Chains A and B, each alone.
Chain A
Amino acid sequence: KEASPKAPTKEAPKALEKVDFQLNWKITGDHAPYYVALEKGWYKEEGLDVNVILGQGSGYTVQVIDTKKADIGISDAPVPITNRAKGAKVKIIGIIFDKHPNCMYFWKSSGITKPQDIVGKTVAVPATDGHKVMWPAFAKQIGVDPSSVKFVNIEPAAKVSALASKNADVVFELYTGKPFMEKAIPPDQLGYFVWSDYGFNAYAHSYITHDDTIKTRPEMLRKFLKATYRAWDYTLKNPAEAIDILGKYHPINKEDYLANLKVVMDFFKTDRYKNNGIGYIDPARMRETVELVARYMNVQMNFPPEDVYDASFLPSPPFKYNW
């Protein structure tokens, strides 16, 4: 197993509990909190020895959690929901972004003025990307036929190129990728629509775990979420320091990542998090998410919406984010 170079495991005393934590993707700005928690020793304080593992996408995270190759993972909410319907034993135990970050980018010069203008356009998006998976839902929500656009599969790394070279009219990419888009496309010419501004209200990045882990190691989950949300709280308050810490562990361009993190912070500036604390799972919205998945993505839901999540491990008192 990989251990980060400066992980506090080195001087580990006796009984730290090992936790394998599967990220959703390679390092992005929103992964800073885990390294903040590691650096400040908050996981250790909780008696946990957390091992952060880089990711391959939400689908991969679900596979890893379902086969118990990791204990906790990050995944886009609809993915575990879909897979639970297919028999995977995974549950959501906490939310990361309170707003859905899915977004579409285009050149302003292309004449797109509203999301519906996407009809007939060429859209570049990695096949394994959450955007592609959730497109049918969003398409129906904005009232267009999901098959009315032409998809081009690309490597995740090629998103910016695809738009910059105008090889695609539209690129689906998280809103958090905006600083990188702006590197290649002048900000005044870059157009974008955040899906959540057009009624796409599903939950997005969430912490998931296996049903068995919920049964056998509830305390661990509780401790993990406590330290993690504490780190989120700290990161949101000290983004520059958080990115500095992240930069100690990974070869990142801090300027780029700080810009990235600052965009991410927008997803935490909601009344829900202000009132209920970061990570809060709103049952109504979760139900909505499940319904969205069931309706628009042709999944047979053979269980009640309450089965897909378990809010009992969230920290109490919650970390209320007051921006």
Chain B
Amino acid sequence: MKLLLRRVGYFFLFLLFWQVAVMVLGIKEFIIPSPLKTLSHIFQPTLAAKYQWPLHIQATLMEILLSFLITAISGNLVALLISWSRALKTLITPIIVFFNSLPKIALAPLFLLWFGYGLLPNTLIAVLVAFFPIVINTSTGLEQVDEDLLNLVRYLGATKGQIYVKIKIPNALPYIFSGFKISATMCVVGSIVGEFIASDKGLGYLLKDAQAFIDTPTMFACLLLISLLGILFFGALSLLEARVLYWMPQTTGGGKG
């Protein structure tokens, strides 16, 4: 708690420093806007109304949540398949690795061609971006089981299903959560990338619009909100993790994020 307060303190110090720097050095607004100016674009009523923040935040948030949901489910499912069968593993892994190293933005025209625009394709792009860490983490978790823990149920004649349900999956939970946390940030980034490729609303849309008019305060406001969404999402997952993994020894005080 104290740590959190100190962090907030540092953050305001940083804002102050930024404000003073912009004012003293006379930095032009279209290079770096001052924090006050940036915040005014979010909170000053007439400006805020012009930018329709709730609409765009909601659109982006929907993409983030939906993509996270899909990533979480499909990523874990794929990880489960990989760990379940060696054949599937050799088949799936190289393809995932191959796609992971592609810069998704390079496929922008193709994405539009294949999926169109809107909630669904943006979500898909985010899924594609965020997919990998979950698969890797979960399958690591499923494999990092003490062999003796498996023996413990094997000598009782446990089925493969029982082994997964009773041992492997709960055992993988900490890994699954750390995969979730990594993916959370990537879902945010992925959604924005999706909005860049094609969109008619969302913070990424607004950001591009602002960029067209060299409206840097709005651009910074968008960036601020985007990373705020990311941090909040990450924080929410950390809380959830503490809830779900109640049986883990409580070692971390404030978390890393």
Cα distance, A152 to B199, chains bound together (Å): 5
With A83-B214, A127-B205, A127-B209 already in contact, the answer to whether A157 and B109 are too (CB < 8 A) is yes
Selected contact of B113 from candidates A128, A150, A161, CB within 8 Å: A161
Asked whether A127 lies within 8 Å of B117 as measured between CB atoms, the reply is no
Question: How far is it, in angstroms, between the C-alpha of A171 and the C-alpha of B134 when the chains are bound?
Answer: 38
Q: Please state if B197 and A164 are interface contacts (CB–CB under 8 Å).
A: no
Contacts A152-B200, A153-B209, A155-B197 given; does A162 touch B112 at CB 8 Å:
yes
**Contact assessment for A63 and B112 in the assembled complex, using a CB-CB cutoff below 8 Å:** no
The tally of residues in A whose CB lies under 8 Å from a CB in B reads 28
A305 in contact (CB, < 8 A): no
Option from A63, A126, A151 in Cβ contact (under 8 Å) with B200:
A151
Distance in Å from the Cβ of B10 to the closest Cβ of chain A?
A: 31
Distance in angstroms between the alpha carbons of A155 and B211 in the assembled complex: 13
Contact of A154 among B110, B114, B198, B212 (CB under 8 A): B198
Q: Which of A121-166 contact B (CB under 8 A)?
A: 122, 124, 126-129, 132-133, 150-155, 157-158, 160-162, 164-165
Question: Which B-chain residue is minimally distant from A167 (CB atoms)?
Answer: B116
How many residues on the B side are at the interface (Cβ–Cβ under 8 A)?
Answer: 26
- Interface contact B112-A127, CB-CB below 8 Å: no
| With contact pairs A127-B205, A155-B108, A158-B197 given, residues A63 and B113 touching in the complex (Cβ less than 8 Å) | no
Whether B15 sits at the interface, judged by CB under 8 Å, is no
Which residues of chain B are near A133, meaning CB under 8 Å? 212-213
> Is the pair A153, B199 in contact by a Cβ cutoff of 8 Å?
yes
**In angstroms, how far is the closest chain A Cβ from the Cβ of B182?**
26
Task: Enumerate chain A interface residues (CB-CB to B < 8 A).
Answer: 57, 59, 62-63, 67, 83, 122, 124, 126-129, 132-133, 150-155, 157-158, 160-162, 164-165, 167
13 new A-B contacts at CB < 8 Å, known A62-B214, A127-B209:
A59-B214, A63-B30, A63-B214, A67-B31, A126-B212, A128-B208, A128-B212, A152-B199, A155-B112, A158-B197, A161-B112, A164-B113, A167-B112
By a beta-carbon cutoff of 8 Å, the part of chain B in contact with chain A is 28, 30-31, 105, 108-114, 116-117, 195-200, 205, 208-209, 211-214
30 contacts between A and B (CB under 8 A): A57-B212, A59-B213, A62-B214, A63-B30, A67-B31, A83-B214, A124-B198, A126-B212, A127-B211, A127-B212, A132-B212, A133-B212, A151-B200, A153-B198, A153-B208, A154-B112, A155-B105, A155-B108, A155-B112, A155-B197, A155-B198, A157-B109, A158-B108, A158-B109, A158-B111, A160-B109, A161-B112, A164-B113, A165-B112, A167-B112
